Amino acid sequence: MIDLSVNINGFTLKNPIMPASGTFDKELAAIIDFNALGAIVTKTFTLDKRAGNPTPRACELPNAMLNAIGIPSKGIDYYISHTVPYYQQYSSPLIASISANTATDFGLIAKQLDTVKGIACIEANISCPNIEADGKAFAMQANSTSKVVKALRAATHLPLWVKLTPNTSDIVSVAQAAEAEGADAIIVGNTLLGMAIDITTRRPKLGNIMGGLSGPAIKPIMIRMVYQCYKHLSIPVIGCGGITTFEDVIEYFLAGSTAVQVGTANFIQPSTMTNMIHDLEDYCQKHNIHRLSELTGAVIDKKLPTITALPY
């Protein structure tokens, strides 16, 4: 028997595969068995209703996509009255992804969710603009990360995952700030800020002008950040960015991930996540790995002694 289960700071998932927020919805139930997933992560919602960004909201790029959906949201009341009850039919734990413009509002959402039956964990998407700090994303800086995670931690007893942005010059300091304020895990991470222009119309390809880059093209950047965070943190790192195959999952584990989230690949092949779970089992079987979690951080990153002289 292969053990695919993972322990995220005391919260056990039967396997490490879950959707990345915003890339998964109820319609996928017609194609994959939600009960097979390690967890279900829903689209980020906010306290109040929001319309989202102007169209076009997404465009395809080589090995990537650019999106600026802008978190359209039906608000917390709808989430509690409709989304949570819907997902209760599935055995996989429900992870509620939340966002807000201020640390205070993040705390208000977390406090309301704290007692809602059926929510297993809060994922704080802190890659959104902080209106108290020039609109820069909370997770761009350690001090705004500290402030928001502190407010969240004080508001909830639920496991708290904090989703970081790669759009920062010092991911480790930001991750350490989240850890110091009581995050149970970090997710590394959200999309990379990008832009694309249509050379015929000379207009940006997105209505919002800039957007988030995702998909296979960003994987090496995110692997590097997972590795850096794993080396400097004690809490688990959940890897996310460009994961398309089980080989990508193994690579993320070796870099230091305890679990992973799959995003853009769900749009390309909706059965990606459930295929991966089977493929991971086969891989472990073939390579005599009894527990997938053994691979977390198992990259051999020391220079090996030279055995024979290189031919150059």
Ligand X SMILES: Cc1cc2nc3c(=O)[nH]c(=O)nc-3n(C[C@H](O)[C@H](O)[C@H](O)COP(=O)(O)O)c2cc1C
* 242 is a contact residue toward ligand X (CB under 6 A): yes
Residue with tokens 């010092």: 170
Residue with tokens 């790029």: 61
* 23 is a contact residue toward ligand X (CB under 6 A): yes
Cα–Cα distance between 178 and 174 in angstroms, integer?
6
* 46 is a contact residue toward ligand X (CB under 6 A): no
The active-site residue out of 59, 121, 128, 284 is 128
> Is residue 95 a contact partner of residue 39, using CB atoms and an 8 Å limit?
yes
Contacts of 76 (CB under 8 A, 6+ apart): 45, 46, 47, 48, 109, 112, 113
Return the number of the residue (52 or 297) whose C-beta is nearest ligand X.
52
* 146 is a contact residue toward ligand X (CB under 6 A): no
In 22-141, which ranges are continuous DSSP H helix? Answer: 76-78, 84-87, 103-113
Stretch that binds ligand X, among 19-27, 110-118, 130-138, 199-207 (CB under 6 A): 19-27
Stretch that binds ligand X, among 134-142, 147-155, 169-177, 263-271 (CB under 6 A): 263-271
Count the Cβ atoms, other than its own, within 10 Å of residue 246: 20
Residues 148-207 that bind ligand X (CB under 6 A): 163, 190-191
Cα–Cα distance between 275 and 297 in angstroms, integer?
24
Stretch that binds ligand X, among 2-10, 200-208, 210-218, 272-280 (CB under 6 A): 210-218
Nearest-CB residue for ligand X? 22
Return the number of the residue (22 or 107) whose C-beta is nearest ligand X.
22
**Rounded to an integer, what is the distance from CA 190 to the centroid of its chain?**
6
User: Could you say which of 11, 13, 16, 44 contacts ligand X (CB under 6 A)?
Assistant: 44
The mark string for 71-110 relative to ligand X (x by CB under 6 A, - otherwise) is: x-------------------------x-------------
* 22 is a contact residue toward ligand X (CB under 6 A): yes
Among 145, 141, 140, CA closest to 160: 145
User: Could you say which of 206, 240, 250, 254 contacts ligand X (CB under 6 A)?
Assistant: 240
Return the number of the residue (3 or 279) whose C-beta is nearest ligand X.
279
Tokens of 167: 């759009």
Residues 49-68 that bind ligand X (CB under 6 A): 58, 65, 67
> Is residue 65 a contact partner of residue 211, using CB atoms and an 8 Å limit?
no
| Catalytic site includes residue 240 | no
> Smallest distance, Å, CB 109 to ligand X?
14
User: Could you say which of 164, 174, 263, 296 contacts ligand X (CB under 6 A)?
Assistant: 263
Up-side HSE of residue 309: CA atoms within 13 Å toward CB?
2
Tokens of 284: 């472990």
* 243 is a contact residue toward ligand X (CB under 6 A): yes
> Smallest distance, Å, CB 307 to ligand X?
38
> Smallest distance, Å, CB 312 to ligand X?
37
Among 129, 26, 111, CA closest to 70: 129
Strands of 17-19's sheet in order across = 17-19, 257-262, 237-240, 185-188, 160-164, 121-125, 94-98, 40-41
- 3: DSSP letter: B
Question: Active-site residues: which are they?
Answer: 128
Q: Which residues bind ligand X (CB under 6 A)?
A: 20-23, 43-44, 58, 65, 67, 69, 71, 97, 125, 163, 190-191, 214-215, 218, 240-243, 262-265
